[in-house]
Structure formats: structure tokens, C-alpha cells
Amino acid sequence: MNATLGFRPLYAQVKDLLVQRLASGVWKPGEALPSEFSLAAELKVSQGTVRKALDELAAQNLVVRQQGKGTFVARHTPQRALFHFFHLVGDDGARALPSHRVLALRNARATKAQAERLKLAAGTPVIALKRIRLLGGRPAIFERIVLPGSLFPGLVERVVDKLPNEVYRFYEEKYGVTVARAVERLKAVAATPEEAKALGLRAGAPLLEIDRTAYGLDGRPVELRLSRCDTARHHYLSEIT
């Protein structure tokens, strides 16, 4: 009967609505959502339908569920950063978040390529960060980050040079920008003289380049990140299931 192309099952509609609310900040990271029953009552569907929607959100790591306590908006905890968004692991299997040293943080304007990837007009204000990340005290990653200026107003002036190490948590707490998903493109490249010097390598040494585009809850790109990694003592871990 429903020949409408736009038809979606009830639970999917509920899920869409919840994602929309998450994206618009109705519930903030760490907060509890209303219970299954109250959501069901509000949306005039059964509790089981709400549950199926919530289960899918939990599978996508947008919410965290805990029996007896409630359903909570997922936060960028160190744990999550480590296991979900940071794939560089020591060759002995040890995982640790790197510390960092900021080289530059300034306002700039999007290049054509950057604008295209961030879905902005060329020349739009952006924020550019250049930093070195250290693993086990050793410089291991040379990293360049580009953010849309509109999403992070006054960031450069605000942080001066005390930018925290875990920037995703910073985005979330200070600007309400939640990184929900990312795509990484990996290549092997030769270190430039600048990178080689910063990482204590010879120019031309092989580096692992990770070119990441991160997306927010609403699906729009919120960060570009180019990481050039010394993989002498570490590797990028990818699990295929």
C-alpha cells in the first residue's frame, strides 16, 4: 500500500528523529535521554519500537546504554579517543594517547581543495593548527588540522596556546561539535625536510600519511586532518570484521 518512495519503517523514523535531536543539542553529551517508555509515550509508538531505534544508535556509538540506569549521549572520553579514533598502536600492542606540542595555531582562509572537502566556499575563514604529537615521549606524528571557522568562533584567540591534547573532547565541550564519524585515506610518503627535522628523521624517510575527514552528527564535515606518522615503532591497526 505504501508506494511512497520515502517510506521508512517506524523504528527508522524514530531513529531519524532522535539523531536530529542529538545533532541539534537537545540532549548534550553525557546527559541521559528520556526513558524508553517516556519516548514511546511522546511519539505514540510502543516501547519496543523506541528500543530498536536506540539499539541502532548504540551500535553506531551515538549513545551508550546501561541496564538499570538509562541511555546516555556518547561522550568523547579518553577511552573512546584511544580505541575508536586513534589507530596508531605500539608494535608491542600497547595503546597510548600521544601528548602534543603546538607549532602554530592561526586564522586562515580555505584553499580550493580544503573548501571543497569541508563543503565551504573557497576563501572562507578557517582555523589552521600545526602540531607534533609524541608517543612515549618521542616525536612520532607531524599533524596539520583545518577547521571551518564558522563552527569554532574565536578559537585562536580563546585558547592562545593552551590547546588541550584531546581536541575532539575540546570541540565537544567548548563548541558543541561532536565528531561522530570519520574517513581516513592512508598512503606511504617520503618525509619533507620540515617533517624530517621535527620527527628526528632523515629527509625522504618513509612516513605513513593519514588523511582524515571527520563528520559531525548531522553528517557535515567538521575537521580535516593530515597526520604524517613515523611507523618505526608503531603501526596503524585496522580490524576487518
Partner DNA sequence: CCGTTTATATCTTATATAAGACATAAGATT
Partner DNA sequence: AATCTTATGTCTTATATAAGATATAAACGG
What is the binding site for DNA (CB under 7 A)? 1-2, 9-12, 33-38, 45-49, 51-52, 54-55, 65-71
| Residue 186 interacting entry, from its own copies, DNA, none, C-beta within 5 to 8 Å by type | its own copies
| Residue 188 interacting entry, from its own copies, DNA, none, C-beta within 5 to 8 Å by type | its own copies
Residues 150 to 209: which contact its own copies by CB under 8 A? 181-190, 204-209
> Could you tell me how many residues of this chain bind its own copies (CB under 8 A)?
33
Q: Residue holding cell 573557497?
A: 122
Check residue 73 for interaction with its own copies (CB under 8 A). Answer: no
| Residue 9 interacting entry, from DNA, its own copies, none, C-beta within 5 to 8 Å by type | DNA
Bridge partners, 63 (sequence order):
73
Residues 51 to 70: which contact its own copies by CB under 8 A? 59-61
Q: Residue holding cell 584567540?
A: 157
Q: Residue holding cell 541521559?
A: 32
Largest CA distance in the chain: 68
CB atoms within 10 A of CB 180: 18
- 113 Cβ contact list (under 8 Å, min separation 6): none
Check residue 79 for interaction with its own copies (CB under 8 A). Answer: no
Min dist. Cβ of residue 103 to its own copies (A) = 21
Say what the alpha-carbon torsion angle 216, 218, 221, 222 is, to the nearest 10 degrees: -40
Bridge partners, 53 (sequence order):
none
Cell of 144: 596539520
Interface residue list for its own copies (CB under 8 A): 59-61, 84-85, 87, 89, 181-190, 204-209, 211, 229, 231, 235-241
